[in-house]
Amino acid sequence: MAYKSVDELQNALVGNVFGYAKDSKKAAGRALGTIVEIITYYLLKTWGLNNHISIERGLEEYGNSDITHNVEFSLHPISRSSFLTINKSDKTITAHMILKALKEQKYDLSGFERQSNQLLNKGVLRNACTIATSKNSFLLCSINSELGDKLKLNIYEQSKKAYSMIECKRVGVEEGMRKGPQTIEKAKQGAYVARTTSSLQKIRNESGEMNGIIYKSDGSYVI
């Protein structure tokens, strides 16, 4: 069944699915937000960006590493990638198991610190997980394919500096508005973060022209 707007779909969910909830409209809105994130993730994978995707990474704001904001998805440059084959009989696949197998294959792990994440745990499979981190990069793992009784794992190293970010926010009409659509507060926050983290901080020169300034991690800057 088709709905003319997201708001109509949300109202349908309120009555037919989330009627039990204390705040059924908020519950329906969160469900719709989750659907938007799932569609976005698999769209990025369809575009061939699987190895570039990080989920809920904290990106630096204003060039200050002490101020971060988590975004739904960020895309990062890849410095190297390889494949690893392991038995799939194990019910759990941990970062420790993957790193141990990589060491046996003489994979260079110098400068990396192991994380306590699990790619597979009690039948629950993650799309990907971070198995180790270094000063400038993340080492991630995802399942590439099944090969009989074995799994082919994709190992890839992402730079910590993202080249793109994606915020997923559902935009609707707030109740009580009489002067046209009004974005929900969360969407306004997302739009603000996207603008301030992705655009240059702007200053005017003596002739009145607008320039942009980027601060580097060592305190210097580029105009």
**Which pLDDT score, from 0 to 100, does residue 26 have?**
82
Rounded to two decimals, what is the model's pTM? 0.71
**Which pLDDT score, from 0 to 100, does residue 204 have?**
81
**pLDDT tens track for 108-143:** 899 999 998 888 887 788 888 899 999 899 999 998
Mean pLDDT of the 163-175 span = 75
CA distances from 128 to 46, 107, 155, 212 (A): 15, 19, 10, 36
**Which pLDDT score, from 0 to 100, does residue 141 have?**
92
**Angle at the Cα of 163 from the Cα atoms of 50 and 110, rounded to 5 degrees:** 70
**Which pLDDT score, from 0 to 100, does residue 45 have?**
92
DSSP string, 49-102: -GGGEEEEEEEEETTEEEEEEEEEEEE--EEEEEEEEEES--SEEEHHHHHHHH
d(CA 19, CA 25): 9
Least reliable range by pLDDT among 37-41, 78-82, 219-223: 219-223
| pLDDT confidence band for 200 (50 / 70 / 90) | low
